[in-house]
Amino acid sequence: MREALTAAATRRVTRPAPLRQAVYDALTELIVNGSLKPGQHLVEAELAEHLGVSRQPVREALQRLQTDGWVDLRPAQGAFVHSPTEEEAAQLLGVRAVLETYSAQLAAQHAKPEDVERLWELHGEGVDALAAGDIERLVAANTALHTYVTSIADNAVLAELIAGVSQKVRWYYTPIARPRGKEAWNEHAQLIRAIAKGDADRAGEVMRKHTERTTGFYRKQLAAGANQD
């Protein structure tokens, strides 16, 4: 046992320093919220100055961001925010559709009256943000509503899987949150009504169509942007 532990100790994973993690999280959020746009050149010195840190944790964060698909490191050119392809978007949003359809079905089976009340509160926040043209609030409300549906579903494995794709879903959703807004929040209302009735089949169908429409809208926007280049 002692020998096995000694051998294993040589292969221990080094935990990331808090600063390194903080820089990674900050840069990811800047990409997700659109402050750093797809294709944008990322200059280490400028990022370090903006974040108030040295260049070393920025360099380490950029390496990790490349591994996680947020950044492209090009030889002799530097780092650039990754530009998602249509295929990447289709794959991720397709997985999200499957997971959230099941989540909606489970939510309809488990929802209590107070859960439905909270969903309507979140819906109201989204509608208000849409009326105000506040994109940040709108995206936050959309994320909160979908997250709450997942919490009602009460399936830890499902919640973990959805969490694994939710950040990139938010990245994809931010540019279309406003133009897709009215239709999306009408669909959210349909979803809440189905959950309130305990109609799992209807809730799943509404969520499936909702996520598919969001995917289709995103792909159209992506294609339109490519045609302008």
Handedness of CA 206, 207, 212, 217 (dihedral sign): positive
pLDDT for 6 equals 44
pLDDT at position 227 is 53
State the pLDDT confidence band at 224, using cuts at 50, 70 and 90. confident
Residue range 19-44, pLDDT digits in tens: 889 999 999 999 998 899 999 999 99
Q: If you average pLDDT over residues 7-16, what whole number do you get?
A: 45
Q: Which two tokens stand for residue 146?
A: 């979908």
Instruction: Find out whether 72 and 82 touch, Cβ atoms under 8 Å.
Output: yes
Average pLDDT of 162-186? 92
Reported as a single tens digit per residue, the pLDDT across 52-100 is 999 999 999 999 999 999 999 999 899 999 998 888 888 998 999 999 9
Q: Is pLDDT of 209 > 80?
A: yes
Mean predicted confidence (pLDDT) in 141-169:
95
- How many other C-beta atoms lie within 10 A of the C-beta of residue 27? 25
pLDDT, residue 206, reads 98
- In this prediction, residue 87 carries a pLDDT of 87
pLDDT band at 184 (very low <50, low <70, confident <90, very high): very high
**Confidence label for 10 from pLDDT (cuts 50, 70 and 90):** very low
Question: What strands lie across the sheet with 71-74, from one edge to the other?
Answer: 41-42, 78-81, 71-74
Q: Strand, coil or helix: what is 85?
A: coil
Q: What percent of the chain has pLDDT over 70?
A: 90
Q: What is the pTM of this model?
A: 0.81
Reduced to 3 states (helix: H, G, I; strand: E, B; else coil), residue 79 is strand
12: pLDDT strictly greater than 90: no
User: Which 8-state DSSP code applies to residue 73?
Assistant: E
Tell me: pLDDT of 4 over 80: no
CB of 203 within 8 A of CB of 107?
Answer: yes
Residue 78 is encoded by which pair of tokens? 């530097």
* DSSP states along 154-217: T-HHHHHHHHHHHHHHHHHHGGGTTTTHHHHHHHHHHHHHHHHHT-HHHHHHHHHHHHHHHHHH
CA distance 106 to 200: 7
For position 225, what pLDDT does the model report?
A: 64
Measured N-to-C along each axis, helices 156-173 and 200-228 cross at an angle, to the nearest 10 degrees, of: 30
Name which of 2-16, 65-79, 188-202 the model is least confident about.
2-16
Q: Could you report the per-residue pLDDT of 117-152, keeping only the tens digit for each?
A: 999 999 999 999 999 999 999 999 999 999 999 999
Cα–Cα distances in Å, from 146 out to 149, 163, 204, 212? Answer: 5, 11, 13, 15
